[in-house]
Structure 1
């Protein structure tokens, strides 16, 4: 019986330690002393957001996905975009690039679905390897497609886009050293080092929980 009780005590302690670690992880964000400007990026997967509550919990800005899979409008884009404007928050849009869609079609979708807004933050091109797209063109073709997309969209927005590049995409198609645009890197908890140039923004967590949102959010900081 003593052995059993000891095992139960150890199991309970491990469970409590695990719960404490998880609670810390989902509440963590980089220091505001080091990174004063912090925000989130959201998509239809995030679900509804109470933007006034989010702002009160330290969200300085928000990026909302406008286009997914290259040409499809995110289902929550319009409602998020309008609500952010009503809340008086700084807002920007993200376009999820697809290796399975022509760059021209993707640029047309962006111009069609994303309104010009003089108060908008610079738009973002998300570059990641999508398991739902099996196409893997060679690097020259990918860089040409990205440049073609940027030429059209930047004419529409009037400002250079940021490139949000995942580590797998950067490894497959080294982009950060080839296209001179501000960079956005992604890595949970530890500042990323995989890009060829310093990043302007960092997605520091994909599991942060905040009041005003039922699901985890992507938490982002701006380089000081």
Structure 2
């Protein structure tokens, strides 16, 4: 707990400094409309009607090997407050950039977590064991994430019934949650959420919605994170990047971290 306390105090200081910076220095200052964070952009921006993501105070990214070399100091300076990194897929695949990104985000003092792309041809227990084998249990990490979406895999075209998907996903979440001390977040897409009635699963949600506020395609569903574009532009990253918003204010973000960081 003493080590965790020191880490958390340091992280809170970083967040406080970042929040106090002016846009010219690379920090985040909320403003109405698309200019909420002047250093972030979108190569194919959506014309948001009403409740778009730009008024949200806390933004982050999710990345995989396809982002290539990343200048994480520039990423943090641009106002990015968190990163989710692809770690594993199924029960035998890992992202070759995961370990490097994991070290580099820690060095840049960006809160980060790992996500697992769920595979329908392996059991939840097998996939949990593989994830645990690849992802360190590290104090100060964000909760693990299970990515639940339909795939176009040629090696596994199987689409199980909803009850089987939720049962195996719950097994994964129970095992992984016990190991890391934090129940995993569920990432999902509109069609997968609807087809499998995921709203009755016990978890925080990270929802993909690139054309509407999540309240439209996911009526009544509470969420912690919103993936609002796959064509984001972030200083320090070449090419398009997924951009995400946290559901609350900066103060809410600090409280969420205090409750959900791995101890």
Normalising by the smaller structure, the TM-score range is 0.7 to 0.9
- The answer on 1:25 being equivalent to 2:48 is no
Shift of 1:206: 0.4
Q: Is the 8 A contact 1:54 1:213 kept in 2?
A: yes
Distance 1:121 1:185 in 2: 17
- The answer on 1:44 being equivalent to 2:65 is yes
- The answer on 1:178 being equivalent to 2:234 is no
Distance 2:140 2:59 in 1: 18
Match of 1:91 in 2: 112
Deviates more, 1:65-74 or 1:187-196: 187-196
- Within the candidate set 151, 154, 157, 2:174 is matched to 151
Bigger Rg, structure 1 or 2: 1
- Within the candidate set 116, 136, 155, 2:159 is matched to 136
Distance 1:121 1:67 in 2: 16
Match of 1:14 in 2: none
User: TM-score by structure 1 length?
Assistant: 0.83
Distance 1:186 1:59 in 2: 18
What runs of 5+ residues in structure 1 fail to find an aligned partner?
A: 1-21
Shift of 1:24: 6.7
What runs of 5+ residues in structure 2 fail to find an aligned partner?
A: 1-41, 249-263
Quick one: structure 1 residues 147 and 209, their matched pair in 2 at CA, closer, same or farther if it must change by over 3 Å? same
Quick one: structure 1 residues 158 and 210, their matched pair in 2 at CA, closer, same or farther if it must change by over 3 Å? same
Distance 1:45 1:68 in 2: 15
Taking only aligned residues, the RMSD between alpha carbons, in angstroms, comes to 1.9
**What is the DSSP-based 3-state SS (H/G/I as helix, E as strand, rest coil) of the residue aligned with 1:25?**
coil
User: TM-score by structure 2 length?
Assistant: 0.71
Quick one: structure 1 residues 142 and 54, their matched pair in 2 at CA, closer, same or farther if it must change by over 3 Å? same
Match of 2:142 in 1: 121
Distance 1:99 1:153 in 2: 17
Distance 1:220 1:51 in 2: 17
Match of 2:127 in 1: 106
- The answer on 1:188 being equivalent to 2:210 is yes
Shift of 1:30: 2.8
